[in-house]
Amino acid sequence: MNTAYRDKEEQQDIYNRRIKAYKNEGMTDKAAIEKTNSEVQKPGYSEHETGLAIDFSNPSNPEDNEPMWEWLNANSYKYGFILRYPKDKIDITKVSNEEWHYRYVGKDIAKEMKNTGECLEEYINRVL
């Protein structure tokens, strides 16, 4: 596990650093903000602020990430977690693929979502 709970101030710092990095690459303010918004949740909107999200990665040994993410994708539902932003659902979630970002939804819902192949937005739209 790399990251779990973070407060609004920490999320703001992450958000600001990403914008600054894109601007340093030569992007306009508007382009940097738009790109950041597709990759980083705005402060006050991050699932990490709820305590329900976990990022799994191994920064000190990145080659271990792929097998870990494959295992998580196949098994996380058994523990109540879902892959929050799947690469085949970007058009629905409006967030870039984050193979490391998991959210707790409970075992029953996670199992149902695994069986239907739904992302959280699809599940919510179906059950509400």
Give the residue numbers annotated as catalytic, written as ranges: 98
How many other CB atoms are found less than 10 A from the CB of residue 52? 16
- Name the one residue in this structure whose structure tokens are 């539902």: 77
Q: What count of other Cβ atoms lies within 10 Å of the Cβ of residue 90?
A: 14
Closest C-alpha to 56, from 1, 112, 118: 1
Residue 118 near residue 77 (C-beta atoms within 8 A) = no
**CA–CA dist 83, 29 (Å, integer):** 31
- Percentages of the chain per state (helix, strand, coil), in multiples of 5: 60, 10, 30
* DSSP for residue 95: S
